[in-house]
Structure 1
Amino acid sequence: MSMSDSFDDIISAIQPGPKPSPGNLPGRAVQVLLVGCWLLVCLVPILLAVDGIELAAGKTGTPGTLTVVSCEALGQGRYDCKGSFTPDDGGAPVPVDASPDSEAGDVTRAQLTPEGDRAVKAGAAGVVAALTMPFLGVGGLGFLPYVIMYFLGVRRGRRAAVVVGFVVTALGTAGVVAGMVASYS
């Protein structure tokens, strides 16, 4: 094999293939299944985060102070943290699970879950941290309108759908980064 043959192989590997024609698209049933799965993957994190957002915002749970007592390394960067939650109303301290991104000795405003087994960071930082997964879901939805338009063969407005997709995905990414920073600060 000569050098020019190797170069031709590399060039042919990175050149885009033929544009799929309508006959090469998956059938309607598969398209509906793909869009349904896409929606499921992006909407479930939003729905599952509602309780955490309400808790961090103070709508549910008991307000108080969380003191992280210990964090045990579980390996591979994972931790199991335990804390002591002292309610604002002066009740007795309650042993709770703390966020795994805590460090022993951390003292923060928190909300105790209604079950009384876990405390999460309260206030603006807690709400932003609780919004991490919903922002991921929103970011994942960014290009879904374009894909639906492509499947339906709609040509008009696809360029705008791509621009909106970039904006929504960028906002989702910014929200995820802000949530991660709020979680670890």
Structure 2
Amino acid sequence: MSDSFGDLVGALQPGPTPRPGNLPGRAAQVLLVGCWLLVCLLPVFLAVEDLKLATGRIGTPGTLTVVSCEALGKGRYDCRGEFTPDAGGAAIPVDASPDSEAGDVVRAQLTPEGDRAVKAGTAGVIAALTLPSLGIGGLGFLPYVVMYFLGVRRGRGAAVLFGWVLTAAGTAGTVAGMVAAYS
């Protein structure tokens, strides 16, 4: 075996396994928890505008008629539609949700920018809650991990139960949102 191949194989071999009870340092623990929070809470903050649109707090109410959907490859689509405001007026060309199909006619809200329309009403709200549900479900076991890092033993069983419940609720919300988006 050549030296370069041996070096490559050696680099790919797993290093020593950590002994039980070895934890990353405090700085690494804080970094891990911070990243976990960022990944799970970012979708919640990014969904605020879509939730406001779906509930009718911002935007213009009306009807969206999906005119065309062009396949972009790899299961992705670019859909175009015409938005007709409830107050009357000419139809406005807009971007439609990529989960639409040509010919769909749905209640929608036009964004304040006037460039896209999103599904409104109950189905729109549930669809807008898809990513926040995923993020909240991802937070389920964070309390247990923090307790483990801090060495707290009392209450870990409750933290695990809480983790399962929150993760199941997040999963259910994500699935419901996807069903609402594609219905």
Fold conserved between structures, TM > 0.5? yes
Residue deviations 1:61-88 (CA, integer Å, cap 9, x gap): 0000000000000001100000000000
- Which of 160, 175, 178 aligns to 2:176? It is 178
User: What is the CA distance between 1:96 and its match in structure 2?
Assistant: 0.1
Query: What residue number does 1:27 align with?
Result: 25
- Which of 116, 134, 137 aligns to 2:135? It is 137
Q: Secondary structure at the match of 1:79?
A: strand
TM-score for both structures, normalised by structure 1: 0.89
User: What is the CA distance between 1:18 and its match in structure 2?
Assistant: 8.0
Alignment of 1:1-185 (within 5 A): 20-21=20-21, 24-185=22-183
Residue deviations 1:4-28 (CA, integer Å, cap 9, x gap): xxxxxxxxxxxxx88721xx10000
Q: Distance in 2 between matches of 1:85 and 1:158?
A: 52
Query: What residue number does 2:5 align with?
Result: none
Runs of 4+ in 1 over 3 A off after TM superposition: none
Residue deviations 1:86-127 (CA, integer Å, cap 9, x gap): 000002110000000000000000000000000000000000
The amino acid across from 1:48 in the alignment is L
Q: Distance in 1 between matches of 2:111 and 2:24?
A: 46
Residue deviations 1:117-140 (CA, integer Å, cap 9, x gap): 000000000000000000001000
What runs of 5+ residues in structure 1 fail to find an aligned partner? 1-16
The amino acid across from 1:88 in the alignment is D
C-alpha root-mean-square deviation of aligned residues, in Å? 1.1
Identity of counterpart residues, as a percentage? 79
Q: Secondary structure at the match of 2:161?
A: helix
How many pairs are equivalent?
167
Residue deviations 1:128-153 (CA, integer Å, cap 9, x gap): 00000000010000000000000000
Q: Distance in 2 between matches of 1:145 and 1:63?
A: 41
Q: Secondary structure at the match of 2:36?
A: helix
Q: Secondary structure at the match of 1:117?
A: coil
